[in-house]
Structure 1
Amino acid sequence: MATLPGNPSIAQRIAHAALSPSHRQIADYVLDHPLRVAAMPIDELAAATGVSVATANRFARALGFEGYAQFRAALVLGFEAALAPVEKLRSKLDQSAGVADVFTATLADMAGNIERTRQGLDPNECARAVDAILAARRIFIIGFGSSSWLGGLLLRNLELYCENVQLLANVEGSSYAARALHRLKPDDLVIAIAFPRYFSDTVLLARRVHEAGIGLLALTDGPNSPIASLSSIALYGNTDSQYYASSDASSLALIEALNSAVAHASGASVRAAQQLTEAVLPWFHGNHADGLRPVAERSAAKKTGPTTSSRKEPE
């Protein structure tokens, strides 16, 4: 293999290596599916490319590695954050566990995440977050992937106490969010939600908000999150998971806690709850059919009493 400067990537090694037809077959698969190969043990790669395990190992050596383990380690390095859940799941599946054990372990993880989130709360940051929300003229919520539905839950309760709250995740994607954020004013607030794995669109938009000098409240998993350093206020939720990139339970709990704190600080929680109940009462399951009748009809029924058809005929 030709000498390459610095620390060459796998693609650079492949481009400069003298490969046999079988090695080229593996190389093409690696270039087409780098993330998949990074998670594959040698026997799986051999089976996927139709070669022997020995050939797969010789391919790694042809690229300048001592063996397949070193080749895969170099490939994993470029996808470390993305592959962490895959490796963790692979490890868990190698362990024997019943269905009930998985239920128990998952719920225990959720409880632990929520407790660690509670213990890690910064009272000053919590107060600043609530004050910023109640003081904002407009609130824009950004978050994609699983964070989009978390944003929807945040919107659902904030709009009870804030005049203008907008969720910028819709079918048009991040381009819609970019256009909306272009119209930001100094008294607006942006709430960015990003948990592992972080969406690059959320990070890019958060950076634009930061550069514009607009208030940014980050709901994320810790100070090392790519949006934490861009925020003016940050609240952290612990999201460790044995089976996924992150657990949504503590993220949801953090959002519910934030909504509750806003409701309490607004001084309008009772009135808002009463108005909401009156608005949705006709749609509750149970004996609420009268609520679906027009107001005028209900008023007339109260004045005139039962209709003739409903009265009992004299005997």
Structure 2
Amino acid sequence: MSKPVPSSGFLSDLITRNASRLTGSDTRLLDVLVKDPIRAAIENGKEVSLRAGVHPAAAVRLAKRLGFEGYPEFRAYLQANLVEEGNDFENPAARMAARLVRAEEGQVLSSVLDSEIATLEALRTAVPDSDIRAFSEALRDARKIFIFGRGHAASLSSLIALRLQRSGYDAADLGDRTHHFAEMLNRLSPDDVVWLLAFRRPSQQISDANGIASMRGATRLALTDLLAARFDPAPDHQICASRGEAGESQSLVVPMTIANAVILDLAGIDGGRSIRSLEEFKAFRQSLPPRWRR
């Protein structure tokens, strides 16, 4: 009969329960594992033993002393802890390691695709069309649009601003001009829209922009994931959607898909403004020397 697999918990608890059975080699191995749990969850027993300077079989013996059938089962235990303990995912390295441990050998691309597909499928029912329409109507009626994202959201902020400009809207990416933050928002009015993007948590700059926009009476839109959902004061309109569970890809595909839907819906309700502007932009770009075409 096989031994019962230790329940999920902290490695330190497992060590404490089995302290009397551990050898000198075990201690050296555990020192390596505890110092770098992210790496420990990825490496095999031979690699861990090499780093600890012990015999390659020592890792297998340690795993058995701790109640596992072998090192693969022990490593699965370490991986489960890495994936399940939410606090680890504030650490970018831990998030990357968790994604790696979910992917089988040689299946990294498939793992990422599975994660993206599952998250996008969940988006079908998570965001109603009425939320998309609230965003597009606010953009359609704006005098000027400011888009602001920091960190990973900065690249999406830049793309949204570019697409709105090509669609004929007076749009500016605040993330590209933070050194002119005061100048950019000085003339903010109730006729303007500030579109904020935040993932994991709103940065202080994002919170500042939200506060200023609120005081000036501008319409505030927020596109966030679940961890960054809380704004004070609350935006006028907010779309909040998961970018994946812990250990999944957490990429920009979900917020980018939502932004694309908003811009597409905008083109459907602005009386042809977007379509005409895109045609004019294409003609103008073709008239430029090749070095200026992108």
- The two structures share one fold, judged by TM-score above 0.5: yes
Structure 2 residue identity aligned to 1:185: S
Q: Does 1:275 align with 2:271?
A: no
Q: Does 1:109 align with 2:115?
A: yes
TM-score, with structure 1 as normaliser: 0.58
Instruction: Spell out, residue by residue over 1:206-247, the C-alpha distance to the aligned partner (whole angstroms, 9 max, x if none).
Output: 233234432100111138623386210012333126667831
Measure the CA separation in 2 of the matches of 1:140 and 1:210: 13
Q: Does 1:218 align with 2:222?
A: yes
Q: Displacement, 1:80? A: 6.2
Q: 2:98 touches 2:247 (CA, 8 Å); kept in 1? A: no
1:224-239 equivalence runs, <5 A: 225-227=229-231, 230-239=234-243
Measure the CA separation in 1 of the matches of 2:102 and 2:246: 12
| Cα distance change, pair 238–228 in 1 and its aligned pair in 2 (3 A) | farther
Measure the CA separation in 2 of the matches of 1:182 and 1:81: 37
Structure number with larger C-alpha Rg: 1
Measure the CA separation in 2 of the matches of 1:117 and 1:284: 42
Q: Displacement, 1:164? A: 1.5
Q: Secondary structure at the match of 2:223?
A: strand
Q: Displacement, 1:187? A: 0.9
Structure 1 residue identity aligned to 2:285: V
Identity %: 19
Structure 1 residue identity aligned to 2:208: L
Q: Secondary structure at the match of 2:166?
A: coil
Q: 1:147 touches 1:193 (CA, 8 Å); kept in 2? A: yes
Instruction: Spell out, residue by residue over 1:230-270, the C-alpha distance to the aligned partner (whole angstroms, 9 max, x if none).
Output: 21001233312666783111111111111111111112243
Query: What residue is the counterpart of 1:66 in the other structure?
Result: none
Instruction: Spell out, residue by residue over 1:142-183, the C-alpha distance to the aligned partner (whole angstroms, 9 max, x if none).
Output: 11122121011111221234442111112x53x522442232
Structure 2 residue identity aligned to 1:132: A
TM-score, with structure 2 as normaliser: 0.61
Query: What residue is the counterpart of 1:72 in the other structure?
Result: none
Instruction: Spell out, residue by residue over 1:33-56, the C-alpha distance to the aligned partner (whole angstroms, 9 max, x if none).
Output: xxxxxxx963349xxxxxxxxxxx
Instruction: Spell out, residue by residue over 1:50-101, the C-alpha distance to the aligned partner (whole angstroms, 9 max, x if none).
Output: xxxxxxxxxxxxxxxxxxxxxxxxxx99x76623x544433444467233x1
Q: Does 1:146 align with 2:152?
A: yes
Structure 2 residue identity aligned to 1:259: I
Measure the CA separation in 1 of the matches of 2:195 and 2:153: 11
Query: What residue is the counterpart of 1:98 in the other structure?
Result: 105
Structure 1 gaps, min length 5: 1-39, 46-75, 293-315
1:200-211 equivalence runs, <5 A: 200-211=204-215
Measure the CA separation in 2 of the matches of 1:163 and 1:44: 50
Structure 1 residue identity aligned to 2:238: A
Decide which of 235, 255, 261 is 1:251's aligned counterpart.
255
